Amino acid sequence: MFIHNKRLQYTVRVAQPNPGLANLLLEQFGGAQGELAAASRYFTQALAEDDPGRKDLLMDIATEELSHLEIVGSIIVMLNKGAKGRLAEGVEEEGELYRAINGAGNDSHITSILYGAGAPLTNSAGVPWSAAYVDTIGEPTADFRSNIAAEARAKIVYERLMNVTDDPGVKEALGFLMTREIAHQLSFEKALHAIQPNFPQGKLPGMPEFTNKYFNMSGEPNVRGPWNEGEEWEYVENPSAAVDGGDGTASVELAAPDLAVLEAMKLRTMSDPTSNPVTGADLGSGLVNGKDD
């Protein structure tokens, strides 16, 4: 059960309207790293989670992300307040109104015109929100790593948004949201490592002869470091094809009828390497008619 508290989790204080900034903030409203994507990711994971502790954690953070969506949406609407009235009532000359919603070269006209200066579920380029942003795989040792990365990406976006505004109230609210991304990362880290073992993800351990091999696939010079050297790693300087020892070709065992049909198709579609056919390109170029310009 969800109950909506009409007060925001964090107070929104916007100094003055700024449609361009509102447009940028849509990244955290309907964008890939935004709050709706996070809430949807954790909510759907929680529904399928059998561990009671992880279920509570995911549902708590999913619900908080919805409250963050409300904060971001409220900031966007406040930043668009001036443009909303001017667009609806047409109190300015057309050119002046266009300049007002496109100050400093922003493209807020996309969301201002299409969505009435509200808070649409799009990113800052006007691309609609997509469930494809929810990358759950249904295995907690994989999903929690993805959740940690998602919170890290969201933190970076908030930092970048803070760097493009001098509105103290907006910057403060974004700082709160950024900080909560850190808190969520810490919770997800603890939950992940409360599962032991948690690597490699899933049940199967992997093929031991390839688990700790590093193949130099990019030639020289190849930078060495803890990711490819040390006692843990077997470094293969010049990897050859078919590391399994086979001949490196693809094959399949076919029943005799299938093999006969495929052979017939192969013969029917075989190319003649000795031919030099006249093509449409030849006809169009005029070469066939001796019109070589």
Report helix, strand or coil for 234.
Answer: strand
pLDDT for res 84: 55
pTM higher than 0.85 for the full model? Answer: no
β-sheet bridge partners, residue 122: 128
pLDDT of 92: 47
The mean pLDDT value for 196-209 works out to 94
- Residue 148, pLDDT > 50, answer yes
In this predicted structure, the answer to whether residue 100 has a pLDDT above a threshold of 60 is: no
Residue 108 has pLDDT above 70, yes or no: no
Domains of the chain by residue range: 19-193, 206-237
Summary mean pLDDT of the chain: 89
Judged against a pLDDT cut of 50, whether residue 94 lies above it is answered with no
36 burial via Cβ count (<10 Å: 0-12, 13-18, 19+): buried
Say which CATH topology domain 19-193 has: Ferritin (1.20.1260)
Q: Residue 262 — pLDDT band, cuts 50, 70, 90?
A: very high
Quote the CA–CA distance of 250 and 52 in Å, as a whole number.
47
Query: Residues 109-119: pLDDT tens digits?
Result: 566 655 677 89
Would you state the pLDDT for residue 7? 96
Q: Is the pLDDT of residue 96 over 90?
A: no
